[in-house]
Structure 1
Amino acid sequence: MGGDERRMHVRAYNHWVSLLKGRPFPSIEDLDPGNVADFGAHGVLLDFAGDVTDPGIGYLGSKLRDECRLGGDIVRVADVPGRSLLSRLTDHYLQIIANRAPIGFEAEFVSLRGCTTLYRGILMPFAAADGGGIDHIYGVINWKDVADPVVQARLDAELGAAVLAGPRGAGEASAWADGPLADRGAAATGHADLAMTGSLADALMMARETAAAVRAADTRSRSALYRALGRAHDFSLAADDDRETYLRLVTEAGLTIQPRAPMTPMVKLVFGPDYDKTRLTEFAAVLGHARRHGIAAGRLPTFLDGFEGGIKAIVAAERQARRPAGTAPHAPTLGERPVIARLPLAVEAATGDAVVLVARMGADGVLDIVAGIADHDLATRALKTQDRTAIAHKP
């Protein structure tokens, strides 16, 4: 929700405060709901002086009425259609009675028109004209419809592609001819530096469109993610054939290429630099893995789909591949090691403490436990010995 909606929310509250005049609640006599600044058309006045379980509707703003497609037959809360925007306000009124204070709220819902709608509202209590308890509630709500996430992602991607592939504005450069970027000619407009044509532009446009759809829908579909990674890989391969343009894109995006993480700028250009850093690191590992194995353009989704363990396994494989030769793998801690057996045994130790069990092999091939020793240092030395033995016998 943008600043306008938030300001309306705050303006309504500030108006309520201005009517307090040292009282716990403003008097209903001081409120003119149809002529309150610019938010009267977004308001509703509930009157429950007669029936707290089914308040009357003393006023309904024109914009709110039009949005909910309501006629003149709405006179009580019971008449409010479910899943209407007005119901988002009226559903909260009992909280005001219980808390005896204004309540603000925001959420989203699917309206009767089938649109996903974001809304922000506030309900404020008003006292009876005779100075008694709360008998009216004035509510204000603002809203906006949300575009379908996939449609919005496609629009965003097409807009980005239009900027990237846009013509160089030679005419615009003259306005900056005496500026600090004068020596860069047409590039002084900023957009000129992003202009590119051919396979790299197409590859980035397709990659961004697919990645944006994944981001906007917050999808957990493996196939959608694999498709986005596949197009990111295709873009990285296209960048090899147009290195100059790729380097310009990286620079204009404020990114840097580091020898230890060459694929990171690739995924940031596709998925956006503000995307989750952990996921970006994983995606960069996937692209690096695809490079190491010579995966051709268009083939990465199929490769990922057949890779046992998926992206997590690829990340682990890449970390192992980057580990210097002779470097010992990480030895699991006591808490990380899998349980191989469980048995009840009286040992003075707290949960999670290291306990060394001393046993001898029985004639029937079953271990006979003869002692249990709670000693962390002894357990650590025993595990290190076991790890060295396992490595020595590893084929």
Structure 2
Amino acid sequence: MKQEFSAAIQPAYDLWNSLRADRPYPKFSDLEPETLGKLAEHAILLTVLANDDDQEPDFLFLAVGSHLAERFGPGLYRSRVSQLDDLVLRKTLLTRYRKVFASGEPVYGKGDRELDKLPYSYEALTMPLGNAETGQVTHLLGVAIYYTLQQYRALFSKDRVGENETLAPQ
């Protein structure tokens, strides 16, 4: 996957890439929670609930970082994605997660979303974990960072923020 990420999301891809070594993706057991560092606040971990009858898989939230829990509420933990109340969020996540599950490749996206009646932009990276020998994706690791409009414009404009400056994601 050759993709340019912001300085905020790049460490997530770099970690995933280092854990996979020469495999298509890392094993779930390769991931130690402390290796996420500050990204843990923006991370989610899901298990794949695959069906044997050719139905699309569902996903269960195993861990939800504190920033995402603040944004979406504590109800995500131990919830199935297919049962989320927010229809737009449910469809977006199921589409993204099923793509990662089927391809065994990370999926990156960015967009806009209203939260608490305020506009935010976000970027998200979802990465597969599993048994590369059998080709089975068993878990997903996601990182989603939300920005105010001003932060997002500064981060993604052609006049990029200087290397010594940082933008604190929301």
Structure-2 change in CA distance of 1:44 and 1:68 (3 Å): same
Indicate the residue corresponding to 1:122 in structure 2: 125
Mapped partners of 1:40, 1:87: distance in 2: 24
Moved over 6 A (4+): 83-87
User: What secondary structure is seen at the aligned counterpart in 2 of 1:47?
Assistant: strand
Alpha-carbon displacement from aligned partner over 1:289-319 (angstroms, at most 9, x marks no partner): xxxxxxxxxxxxxxxxxxxxxxxxxxxxxxx
Q: How does 1:2-17 map to 2 (within 5 A)?
A: 6-17=6-17
Residues 124 and 139, structure 1, Cα contact 8 Å, conserved in 2: yes
Counterpart amino acid of 1:56? Answer: L
Structure-2 change in CA distance of 1:75 and 1:123 (3 Å): same
Structure-2 change in CA distance of 1:89 and 1:38 (3 Å): farther
Structure-2 change in CA distance of 1:122 and 1:39 (3 Å): same
Q: How does 1:1-395 map to 2 (within 5 A)?
A: 6-33=6-33, 35-51=35-51, 53-71=57-75, 74-82=78-86, 89-111=93-115, 113-128=116-131, 132-146=135-149
RMSD: 2.9
Percent identical among aligned pairs is 24
Counterpart amino acid of 1:122? Answer: L
Mapped partners of 2:47, 2:11: distance in 1: 22
Tell me the TM-score normalized by structure 1.
0.32
Alpha-carbon displacement from aligned partner over 1:221-257 (angstroms, at most 9, x marks no partner): xxxxxxxxxxxxxxxxxxxxxxxxxxxxxxxxxxxxx
Structure 2: gaps of 5 or more residues: 151-170
Mapped partners of 1:86, 1:62: distance in 2: 20
Alpha-carbon displacement from aligned partner over 1:197-223 (angstroms, at most 9, x marks no partner): xxxxxxxxxxxxxxxxxxxxxxxxxxx
Residues 68 and 85, structure 1, Cα contact 8 Å, conserved in 2: no
Indicate the residue corresponding to 2:166 in structure 1: none
| Structure with more of its chain in helix, by fraction | 1
Mapped partners of 1:61, 1:84: distance in 2: 21
Structure-2 change in CA distance of 1:48 and 1:16 (3 Å): same
How far residue 128 of structure 1 moved from its aligned partner, in angstroms, is 3.3
Mapped partners of 2:33, 2:90: distance in 1: 16
Mapped partners of 2:89, 2:7: distance in 1: 19
Tell me the TM-score normalized by structure 2.
0.70
Structure-2 change in CA distance of 1:11 and 1:86 (3 Å): farther
User: What secondary structure is seen at the aligned counterpart in 1 of 2:6?
Assistant: helix
Structure-2 change in CA distance of 1:66 and 1:86 (3 Å): farther
Mapped partners of 1:97, 1:72: distance in 2: 20
How far residue 129 of structure 1 moved from its aligned partner, in angstroms, is 8.6
Say how many residue pairs are matched. 142
Mapped partners of 1:29, 1:67: distance in 2: 28
Mapped partners of 1:77, 1:103: distance in 2: 17
| Structure with more of its chain in strand, by fraction | 2
User: What secondary structure is seen at the aligned counterpart in 2 of 1:101?
Assistant: coil
Structure-2 change in CA distance of 1:60 and 1:28 (3 Å): same
Counterpart amino acid of 2:127? Answer: M
